[in-house]
Amino acid sequence: MTDWYLVTKREVKRAGGREVFDQYRSMGEALKATFPEFTWDTTRFPTPPGYWRMPTHQRQVLERIGKDLGVKEVSTLLSEPEA
């Protein structure tokens, strides 16, 4: 299933799947709806305009990257940085 991450919306349209995008805006949305049993990493698909403006999308990718890098927790600074 992970080969789908490499397939573009344009390729699907050229192969006769134009109608898929009458219902779904992106490859990620189409695949999540069509194959719900697979856990898709939506951060691996090309993103529609404005996608990264949403904090939930930013958080998804940062959580994945943090996990890959071994980040265990997010903490806040308890004091002001020194000048």
Output the pTM of the full model.
0.59
The pLDDT value recorded for residue 80 is 58
- The answer to whether residue 75 sits within a structural domain is no
Domain span at residue 40?
Answer: 2-69
- The answer to whether residue 79 sits within a structural domain is no
**Measured CA distances, 32 to 1, 40, 74 (Å):** 11, 7, 29
- The answer to whether residue 20 sits within a structural domain is yes
Tokens of 19: 């109608």
- The answer to whether residue 82 sits within a structural domain is no
For the chain, the domain total comes to 1
- The answer to whether residue 35 sits within a structural domain is yes
pLDDT in tens, 15-27: 999 999 999 988 8
- The answer to whether residue 46 sits within a structural domain is yes
- The answer to whether residue 60 sits within a structural domain is yes
- Is the model's pLDDT at 48 over the cut of 80? no
- The answer to whether residue 57 sits within a structural domain is yes
Using only C-alpha atoms, the chain has a radius of gyration, in whole angstroms, of 17
